[in-house]
Structure 1
Amino acid sequence: MTRMPLISLDDHTVPVTVQNRTHLSPEDAFRIIVPIDLSLVFKGWGLFPGVRGVKNQTGAWDAAGQSRNPDLTDGSTAFERLTEYTAPHSFAYEITGFTNVLRRLVSGVRGEWTFTPDAEGTLIRWTYEFKPLPRRRWILHRIVTPLWRRYMRHGIDDARRAAERIALGR
C-alpha cells in the first residue's frame, strides 16, 4: 500500500528554515545528526517543550518508513515517520498525531535536514513545514512561526555542537 504524503502541491503551508555551518564533512554531520539522541538537541525553549526521548522506534532511523513517538517534556507526544533518507545529503520526516496544542493548529508537519558541502565543512539546513488546519494559517504565520524559528535556531545550534563533540569522541 502506497502512503500519500502529508503535504501536496495544492497545500498552502507555513515553512520555517534555519541553517548553520560546521567544520565536519557532510558525511560525518549526516552520520551523527540523523540518529542523534533528540534530548541532546531539543531541550525546550519558551512555550515549546523539549524532547525526553523516543518510544516505539522501528529500526535504526536509517530508512524511509521507519517510525517513532517523540516523548516531550510537557508530557505530550506525536507520531514521527521517516519519509526520505538520502545519505549523506538529506533526510525528511512527517510528524502527525500531536497531543499538545499543535493538534488544534496543524494536521501535521514535514521536516527536512540537508547537508551541503561548504568550503572545508558543511552547511546544515533545517526546514519545518507546517500544514495548518482550516482557518489556522494566520495564527501559525503571525504568532507561532516567529517563535518557532527561535526554537529551531537553538535546535540546529545544539545539533551542530553535539555532532562536533561526538566526532571528537567526547
Structure 2
Amino acid sequence: MTVTASASTARVAAAPLDRAWSIATPLTPVGFYPRAGVIPAVVAVHEQTGPWDAVGRTRRLELSDGSSVVESLVRVEPDGAFVYELSEFTGLLGRLVTGGRADWSYRATPSGRTRVDWTYSFFARPGRGLIVRGIVRFAWAPYMRRVLVGITREIERTA
C-alpha cells in the first residue's frame, strides 16, 4: 500500500527517556486529541484488548462526529519505537482513506530530556489522493503539533 500523504512533528519533553516512554505510550487518546476544525475529537475508547503496550493489541476509538477507527499495535520497542496502524475508518475519513499509520519514536537527548518524533501517514482510496493530501497539509499537520504539545506537557507534569 502506497502512502498518499504524511505529516511529521517533533517536540522535546523535559523528562528522561524511560519516564517519557512510560507516561506517553499508554495514554488514552481521550482529552489529548480534541476537536479542531474538520477533525473530530476522540471521545471514548472501546474494545481495548489489554494494556496498550504489546504488538497485536487493538482498540476502537469513538470520535465526536459519531465515526470511529480501529487502532492496532504493530511495533513496540520500549524506550524507542511505537507504531500502530489504523483501519476500519467510518464517517468522512472512511470514504477518503483505506487506512493510516502512526509512527512514534523516543530518543534521549544529551541533556537528559526526550525527543518525541511522530509521523502520521494516510492511504487514500482511489481518486481521493488530492483531497487527502489537502486535509493532511492544512488540517492534520497543524493538529498533530497541537496534540504533541499536550502530550509532552503531560509527560512533564507527571514525570
Decide: shared fold, TM above 0.5. yes
Residue 31 (structure 2) pairs with residue 69 (structure 1): no
CA distance in 2, matches of 1:28, 1:44: 28
Question: C-alpha separation between the residues in 2 aligned to 1:133 and 1:155?
Answer: 26
Moved more, 39-48 or 136-145: 136-145
Indicate how the Cα distance of structure 1 residues 166 and 40 shifts in structure 2: closer, same or farther if over 3 A, else same. Answer: farther
Residues 96 and 122 of structure 1, relative CA distance in 2, 3 Å threshold: same
Whole-angstrom CA distance in 2 between matches of 1:143 and 1:42: 16
Distance 2:40 2:95 in 1: 16
Does 1:141 find its partner at 2:123?
Answer: no
- CA deviations 1:91-138 (Å, max 9, x no partner) are 000111111211111100010111011232111111001011112111
- Tell me the amino acid that sits aligned with residue 145 of structure 1: R
Partner of 2:13: 22
Q: Give the Å deviation of 1:12.
A: 4.0
Please give the secondary structure, in 2, of the residue aligned with 1:18: strand
Could you tell me how far apart the structure 2 residues matched to 1:144 and 1:16 are? 7
Maintained 8 Å contact 1:40/1:159: no
Distance 2:5 2:21 in 1: 25
Per the alignment, residue 54 of structure 1 pairs with 45
**Residues 1:158 and 2:146 are matched in the alignment:** no
When structure 1 is superposed on structure 2, of 107-116 and 68-77 the one drifting more is 68-77
Taking the aligned partners of 2:115 and 2:69, their CA distance within structure 1 comes to 28
| Cα distance between partner residues in 2 of 1:25 and 1:91 | 17
Distance change in 2, residues 1:99/1:37 (3 Å): same
Q: List alignment gaps of at least 5 residues for structure 1.
A: 1-6
Instruction: State the SS of the aligned residue for 1:163.
Output: helix
In the TM superposition, residue 26 of structure 1 has moved relative to its aligned partner by 1.6
The structural deviation recorded for 1:23 is: 1.1
Residues 1-170 of structure 1: pairs in structure 2 closer than 5 A: 7=1, 11-120=2-111, 121-167=113-159
Give the number of aligned pairs: 158
Post-superposition offset of 1:53:
2.3
**How far apart, in 1, do the equivalents of 2:137 and 2:92 lie?**
14
Kept in 2, the 8 Å contact 1:113–1:127? The answer is yes
Identity among equivalent positions (%) equals: 33
Structure 1 Cα separation of the partners of residues 7 and 54 of structure 2: 24
Deviation sequence 1:40-82 (CA, Å, 0-9, x none):
3111211111111210000101110000001112221111101
